[in-house]
Amino acid sequence: MSTSTAHRPAGRPDDPAWFRHVLGQYPTGVCVITAQPDDGPPIGMVVGSFSSVSMHPPLVGFYPSVTSETWPHLHKAGNWCVNILAAHQSDVCRRIATAPLAQRFDGVPWRPAPSGAPIIEGAVAWIDCVPVAVHDAGDHKIAIAEVKHLDTASTELPLLFFRGGYGSFTPLTLTAYDPDMSLARPLRHFELIRSIAQELPDSGLRCLVTAPVSDSVVVIGQLDPPSASSSAQPTTLVGQRLPFRPHGPSIFEAWAPEREQAAWVAKFAPDSQEAETQALARIRDRGFSIGLGSEGHRRFAAALERLAAEPGTVPNEELDALVASLDYEPADLSDEVLTQARVISAPVFDNAGHPVLAMTVFGFKAKPDIVHDAITAVTACAAKATRTLR
């Protein structure tokens, strides 16, 4: 072993300081459990021990200390609301943890949940629930509640508690959420090739992995370089469904059966059909799709940023119009053209030879040698991923 602690004797679990030190290596989220008494101001208690308990029925739980001054008041309440704090809310956390019980929400904006318990403005998510059981557990209690209502309220990252301090984290790989299981197959493919796709951000490229699902292209995964700045609020397109429409990237149609390709081309205006047929042939010949910078691309990128920050804020009609303005598959790839390159996509095939995923890299400098390197990297990774799926 190479770690400096490899031969150090283990500490005693009955040493409270050592127990806290070791358990402090495990990061936890930070929640505020709130309630609205019938006869007083709202109350709140900060916990780092919140967790889901059961899906059927939907149960959650947390572990208040038996010495907590707040717990007896929460215990008497008929409803609780769990607020998962956002990374910027450490000040809210400290206020509720340290202010006198009756003053904890002074200056803290909130709105009532269906139960009336406070939902703290800016929280990442909230879970409105009804207490159903409390169990003894040493010097703590195990409080169980049944979920009645819940929702996400922000796209921000959550606040974390780690080694005695508050902070956040920089997500390098994100995967689409799939509550209705419509993405089961693409997500399984992504999990199989995730480590290969990670080679792209490891080389400094930002990467999206997409899959065709019905009449949409769904962003299945996002991988960002370790050096990506975390100073700005991170946003993600993961889970977004983008319209699969004419004039957009045709990476999934280029290798489709002839009948399907013909149906795709027929969606274009008659005077554009020959150009699209040639564009599909270029993708097949090159082994990748390339998109150029244009006013349409800039507006489309701005729309995607809006979607990443606030899902659902860009109507499908606006996305359709923006997709129609994009500039893909130039006839030549001269150095002059490559200085306009913005995105490069390469297909990943399954064992039947169908393109089931696309790896798209972006965020690179539009210099010919850098663009060539990006093309080499993404096509090599896509080929490696294809061998894995086959």
pLDDT interval class at 276 (50, 70, 90): confident
pLDDT interval class at 175 (50, 70, 90): low
Residue partners of 86: CB distance under 8 A and separation at least 6: 122, 123, 124, 154, 156, 157, 158, 159
pTM (2 decimals)? 0.59
Report pLDDT for 344.
93
Residue range 138-155: mean pLDDT, rounded: 91
Question: Which of 199-203, 332-336, 374-378 has the weakest average pLDDT?
Answer: 199-203
CA 39 to each of CA 42, 99, 211: distance values in angstroms, whole numbers, following the listed order:
9, 19, 54
Separation between Cα atoms, residue 198 and residue 172, nearest integer Å: 9
Report pLDDT for 268.
82
Residue range 7-33: mean pLDDT, rounded: 82
Cα-Cα-Cα-Cα dihedral sign, residues 9, 12, 16, 20: positive
* Bond before 201 cis per omega within 30 degrees: no
Residue of 204 and 182 predicted with greater confidence: 204
Query: Residue 358 pairs with which residues in a beta bridge?
Result: 210, 347
Burial of 4 (0-12, 13-18, 19+ CB in 10 A): exposed
Q: Tokens in use for 231?
A: 């100073």
Report pLDDT for 273.
87
pLDDT interval class at 231 (50, 70, 90): very low
For the stretch 74-108, pLDDT in tens is 999 999 999 999 999 999 999 999 999 999 999 99
Mean pLDDT of the chain: 84
Name residue 114's amino acid. Answer: P
For the stretch 181-203, pLDDT in tens is 567 788 888 889 989 998 998 88
Residue partners of 380: CB distance under 8 A and separation at least 6: none
Question: Rg for the chain (alpha carbons), in Å?
Answer: 26
